[in-house]
Amino acid sequence: YERVLQHKKSPAENIQSVLKDPYIFEFLGLKTDEKTSEKEIETAIIDHIQKFLLEFGKGFAFVARQQHIATDTSDFYIDLVFYNYILKCFVIIDLKTGELSHQDIGQIDMYVRMYDDLKLNEGDNPTIGILLCSEKDETIVKYSILNDKDNLFASKYLLYLPKEEELKHIIDQDRIRFELDKENNN
């Protein structure tokens, strides 16, 4: 019975059931009272890869850090590349220490398209792109390609588990957003 239900899920629902939002990076041991660079977060993730993979979800295997992609005219470096053996696809991560921007969204979309064109193997599903950012503006998500593509995501990361008051505020915001989305879809 569960297998029948699984097959009726859309690709986006299957992907979303494997991914998380937000990610809690408390195990990285980064100081929360200082500005943390993308490189420091990336280095901490690599140093704590087992814990990171467990935080990230099911089926992830590490592929590369700062993977070089060369095109005819430019060179690009993708922060982190994983392969998910459950979803049978590459998952590329672009780390952002600031608020999500439309430029970031365009960049991850380009990386995913390049990866599909230049690196995808026969039998692989399309690449998933995840922007991990310290702040996520739901309005930018709503009015961008992130809202239309099943394989592009923006997720917030936290360097520590929030205090109870912060968690309540986050839950209240998510509840309001859920209700508004529900009303708009009806």
State the architecture of 2-185 in CATH terms: 3-Layer(aba) Sandwich (3.40)
Q: Is 159 helix (H, G, I), strand (E, B) or coil?
A: coil
Which range has the top average pLDDT, 7-11, 105-109, 144-148? 105-109
* Residue 64's pLDDT band (cuts 50, 70, 90): very high
pLDDT band of 110, cuts 50, 70, 90: very high
- Above 80 in pLDDT, residue 160? no
What residues contact 49, with CB distance under 8 A and at least 6 apart?
62
Going by pLDDT thresholds of 50, 70 and 90, the confidence category of residue 76 is very high
What global pTM score does this model have?
A: 0.66
End-to-end CA distance of the chain: 29
The long-range contacts involving 51-58, CB below 8 angstroms and separated by at least 24 positions, are: 51/27, 52/27, 52/28, 55/20, 55/23, 55/24, 55/25, 55/27, 56/20, 56/23, 56/82, 57/18, 57/19, 57/20, 58/18, 58/86
Higher per-residue pLDDT: 104 or 98 = 104
Q: What is the pLDDT of residue 13?
A: 64
- The predicted structure's pLDDT at residue 9: 60
Q: Single out the residue of 160, 139, 122 nearest to residue 33, CA to CA.
A: 160
On the question of pLDDT at 3 being above 80, the answer is no
